Amino acid sequence: MDNLLDHLNEQQREAVEYINGPSLIIAGAGSGKTRVLTYKIAYLLQQGYMPHSILALTFTNKAAREMKERIAEIIGWKYARYLWMGTFHSVFSRILRTEAGKIGFNSSFTIFDSADSRNMIKTIIKQYQLDDKIYKPARVQAMISNAKNALISPQMYAQNKELLEYDQRSKMPVLKDIYRDYNNRLKASNTMDFDDLLFYTNVLFRDHPDVLKSYQERYQFILVDEYQDTNFAQYLVVKQLADAHHRVCVVGDDAQSIYSFRGANIDNILKFKEVYPESKLFKLEQNYRSTQNIVNAANSLIQQNREQIKKTIYSKNDEGERIEVESAYSDILEGEIVSNKIWDIRREKKASYSDFVILYRTNAQSRIFEEALRKKNIPYRIYGGLSFYQRKEIKDVIAYFRMVVNPYDEEAFRRIINFPTRGIGDTTLNKIAAAARAHNVSLWEIIGDSLGYNLNVNAGTAKKLSAFRELIESFIARLQELSAYDLASRIVKQSGIATEAYQDQTPEGMSRQENLQELLGGIHEFCESRREEGLGGIGLMDFLSEVSLLSDQDTDKEADKEKVTMMTVHASKGLEFKNVFVVGLEEDLFPSSMAKNEFRGLEEERRLFYVAITRAKEYCMITYAKSRFRNGQINASNPSRFLRDIDTCYLNVIGGGFGVLNRPETYTNDLHDYTNTLRTSYPESPVTQRQPIAPHQEAGFPPASPRSNFVNARNATPRASAGVNSGEVQVGAVIKHERFGVGKVTAVTGDPDSRKATVEFENSGVKQLLLKFARFEVVG
């Protein structure tokens, strides 16, 4: 092996070589972060560390897999295979399975995905007879998740005055009880949700110092990827593991912290130095990905953020083209602009479709681009939506697996008790659930002894229940002797899933069959590859524990050649494309209306925009629409404030600026006092408590002082006509609308800039039309 360090630039080399204490590596976008991590691990091995004494934590299985592969390329699988490398969740779940007994679980515990959690929360809300308009399951779920991520147990929660008062104010006083019940039922089900994997690891280490000690000794060096996305629970586990030796290296980019809504706490990276005063800070500042223009533009944007670690990202690549900014009159026209541009660039540069990506803030925006691309016969691929494992037919089968591995799993039980249909309906299920609650046992135990638990069902139902139980038991009996594949095939056949699937000959039904086939194929592959590697563990339980922590993020996003990619900005993190289109740069969309009232929320949105731009290697275009169809209505939209954060010398603003459009009311509103709205989500754990932001410091974004370049001649011209009305309509007028037909104007409201007409259409009912944009003619 030649000298590893020769493959690195100076900054990278220093970061790799420093192994005698804690270090923070700030890795700017495109700066070779993965390279540094892999070389650092290889270097550690070269310096005499044993592979099994190195722990490397990532956020996705894909990241872990890729890193392991690259390390194997350098030093060979012989060593790489023994590295402790995986996601927080998978590594912790392995630890928890070995130590399950110590925290009151059985090692065969199964894992709830987010949908399972939400379903259980729904059930509890129903059971309390609460209004799910107030106790919105998703919201309750988020609250519980935040509590767990901050390591607040149900008991602590119920004693925390601040939290209780907060719940009072948000009209959810029984949240604490829901949280308690939810947790109890998870425990009774021998299940953990994603957050529990982190939570209970902390509990384990807190209550069992000897266990902690053994892991501290095992992991002699700890590395963490994407450290800016860690939450409190993750931070604390890492800290505890590293406490004995402080040999910890975290890598991340505070400028790319975009997951706070999942509990990520940017303070972890910002305050690393406070936790480890002796730590070294390394900065990877050379961007190898993008042109100078793109890097500089992105820099000028992110400079508007107040909370960040100082760094100067630079590029030595070509200067490149300016970022193009173009507005469209409507969302549909925005789609056309983008598809035209893709068409042109592809022809001019002989680019492949796979060199293009369209990035949007919300999934709902994809539709219009789909249509625009389809019109031009441009092939595309959308990422997002349901992942393979979230599809109903897959979840159903997985629920059987879960039931077999862990029959106490309540959500799995509910899912399959009547699937395929076996005449056990809601009534019976409710009886079972009530009995389970009354006796504080799982649903499975109730049907195991329905007489003993006084289950009030008729003889027919009782028979069906015992048939179900015997079916599951017959699978359980084979759990040890059969491989995952053999048992899974058996389950699919004998449960009636196969029969049911093959009866459905509709196209959707066929696709479901294919998915089932694919699942079984995947299990087969799982067993085969494990057998080949001689790793053992080819049972259903092994498969399940792996598959429960997989997500679609783990599937390869560049696999599809010759297709334009479309995805949310979030999903694009870590990827790169030659040509990037960032679309929908409008107030209330990007930044999202939900985030704009909070200082930190707004800065996060700006980071999100930063992530979007820095995906581009060569060319970047930013678009926005002046009107957008949202929630069944056409709404006027204003250009995003972020557009004015980018220094105009890196921009080419097509067809006029965005500096003076409809501004005043939008921007003045946004400057209100943030201290009152500091949190819409949960208060943080004491360790990471934020300082309130002093009002005078808040000008993270300037109010309206448009940079001079934007005020060009085009701005002064009246808005073009392009099928848009000039806006003069009187009450009583009869109009003819393109889509809604003929109708009568019954009211005209709103300020001059956004006048709305209420129109009673003959066939389409009453609509509100924004006169500026509505397409109609006055007929009487």
Partner DNA sequence: TCGTTCTGAGTTTTT
Partner DNA sequence: CTCAGAACGA
Beta strands in 217-299 (DSSP E): 221-224, 248-252, 280-284, 286-287
- Per CB under 7 A, the list member of 39, 43, 59, 710 interacting with DNA is 59
Return the closest-CA partner of residue 88 out of 59, 52, 55: 59
Binding segment toward DNA, per CB under 7 A, in 213-221, 302-310, 362-370, 495-503: 362-370
The only residue of 9, 34, 46, 114 in contact with DNA, by rule CB under 7 A: 114
Spell out the SS3 assignment of 490-549: HHHHHCCHHHHHHHCCCHHHHHHHHHHHHHHHHHHHHHHHHHHHCCCCCCHHHHHHHHCC
Given the DSSP bridges, would you call strands 564-568 and 221-224 parallel, antiparallel or unpaired?
unpaired
601 makes contact with DNA (CB under 7 A): yes
- x/- site string to DNA, residues 618 to 657, per CB under 7 A? -----------x-xx-------------------------
| Exposed / middle / buried, residue 56 (Cβ in 10 Å: 0-12, 13-18, 19+) | buried
- What is the DSSP secondary-structure string of 559-585? --TT-EEEEETGGGTT--EEEEEE---
Cβ nearer to DNA, comparing 195 with 618: 195
Cβ atoms 614, 30 nearer than 8 A: yes
Q: Of these residues, 11, 14, 33, 626, which one is catalytic?
A: 33
Site string for DNA, 579-598 (x = CB under 7 A): -------------x-xx---
521 is in an annotated binding site: no
Q: Tell me which stretch binds DNA (CB under 7 A): 159-167, 176-184, 566-574, 637-645.
A: 566-574
**Exposure class string for 582-594: b at 16+ Cβ within 10 A, else e:** bbbbbbbbbbbee
- Counting contacts by CB under 7 A, is residue 136 touching DNA? yes
Site for DNA in 66-95 (CB under 7 A): 87, 89-90
Q: Vertex 655, ends 649 and 661: CA angle to 5°?
A: 85
Closer residue to DNA, CB minimum distance, 361 or 530: 361
Mapped onto helix, strand or coil, the DSSP state of residue 742 is strand
Q: Which of 40, 615, 628, 772 is catalytic?
A: 615
Nearest CA-CA partner of 30 in 426, 295, 370: 295
Residue closer to DNA by CB (options 632, 686) is 632
Q: In the annotation, is 226 catalytic? A: yes
SS3 327: strand
What character string, x for contact with DNA (CB under 7 A) and - otherwise, covers 709-748?
----------------------------------------
Please say whether the beta carbons of 131 and 139 come within 8 A.
no
Is 435 marked within a binding site?
Answer: no
Instruction: For residue 474, give Cα distances in angstroms to 59, 468, 487.
Output: 37, 10, 11
Ligand-binding site membership of 122 (annotated)? no
Instruction: Please give the Cα distance from 527 to 53 (Å, whole number).
Output: 27
153 binding DNA? (CB under 7 A): no
The two three-digit tokens of residue 232, written as one number:
């409190």
Task: Check binding of 129 to DNA (CB under 7 A).
Answer: no
Q: Catalytic one among 256, 291, 461, 565? A: 256
Residues with Cβ within 8 Å of 306's Cβ and at least 6 positions away in sequence, in order, are 603, 697, 700
- For the bound state, the minimum distance from the C-beta of residue 681 to DNA, rounded and expressed in Å, comes to 9
Q: Catalytic annotation on 33?
A: yes
In angstroms, rounded to a whole number, what is the distance separating the alpha carbons of residues 146 and 238? 19
571 forms part of the interface with DNA (CB under 7 A): yes
Partnered with residue 776 across adjacent β-strands are: 737
599: amino acid identity, one letter: F
CA distance 472 to 491: 9
- Give catalytic status of residue 34 as yes or no: yes
Residue carrying structure tokens 């862990």: 406
Cα separation, 275 vs 202, in Å, equals: 18
660-719 residues in contact with DNA (CB under 7 A) are: none
Which pair of tokens denotes residue 606?
A: 């700006």
Give the integer Cα–Cα distance in Å for 223 and 38: 10
Closest distance to DNA from the beta carbon of 395 (Å) = 13
Q: How far is the CB of 595 from DNA (least distance, A)?
A: 4
Residue 362 CB, shortest distance to DNA, in Å, is: 4
Region near DNA per CB under 7 A, out of 173-181, 417-425, 441-449, 611-619:
417-425
Applying CB under 7 A, the site for DNA has a residue count of 54
Per CB under 7 A, contacts with DNA among 418-447 are 418, 421, 423-427
The nearer residue to DNA, 266 or 564, going by C-beta atoms, is: 266
At closest approach, how far in Å is the CB of 145 from DNA? 8
Can you tell me which of 307, 554, 576, 670 binds DNA, judged by CB under 7 A?
Answer: 554
Q: Looking at 150-158, 256-264, 288-296, 399-407, which segment touches DNA (CB under 7 A)?
A: 256-264
| Pair type for strands 323-328 and 314-315 | unpaired
Shortest Å, Cβ 29 to DNA:
15
Part of the chain binding DNA (CB under 7 A), chosen from 178-186, 359-367, 521-529, 653-661:
359-367
Three-state secondary structure along 172-229?
Answer: CCCHHHHHHHHHHHHHHCCEEEHHHHHHHHHHHHHHCHHHHHHHHHHCCEEEECCHHH
User: What minimum distance in Å lies between the beta carbon of 477 and DNA?
Assistant: 28
Instruction: Sketch the per residue contact string, 3 through 42, with DNA: x for CB under 7 A, - otherwise.
Output: ----------------------------------------
Peptide bond into 591 cis (omega under 30): yes
Among 24, 544, 549, 585, binds DNA (CB under 7 A): 549
Q: Closest CB to DNA among 296 and 428?
A: 428
CB of 229 to DNA, least distance (A): 3
Catalytic-role residue among 116, 193, 196, 225: 225
Catalytic status, residue 256 = yes
Least separation in angstroms between residue 194's CB and DNA is 3
The answer on whether 30 is annotated among ligand-binding residues is yes
Of the candidates 275, 219, 265, 221, the one whose C-alpha atom is nearest the C-alpha of residue 37 is 221
Does residue 220 bind DNA (CB under 7 A)? no
Q: Has 31 been labeled as part of a binding site?
A: yes
Q: Which residues are annotated as a binding site for ATP?
A: 27-34
Positions marked active-site: 33-34, 225-226, 256, 615
Q: Which residues are annotated as a binding site?
A: 27-34
Would you tell me which residues interact with DNA (CB under 7 A)? 59-62, 87, 89-90, 114, 122, 133, 136, 138, 194-195, 226, 229, 258-259, 261-262, 264, 361-364, 367, 384, 387, 418, 421, 423-427, 549-554, 567-568, 570-571, 573, 592, 594-595, 601, 605, 629, 631-632
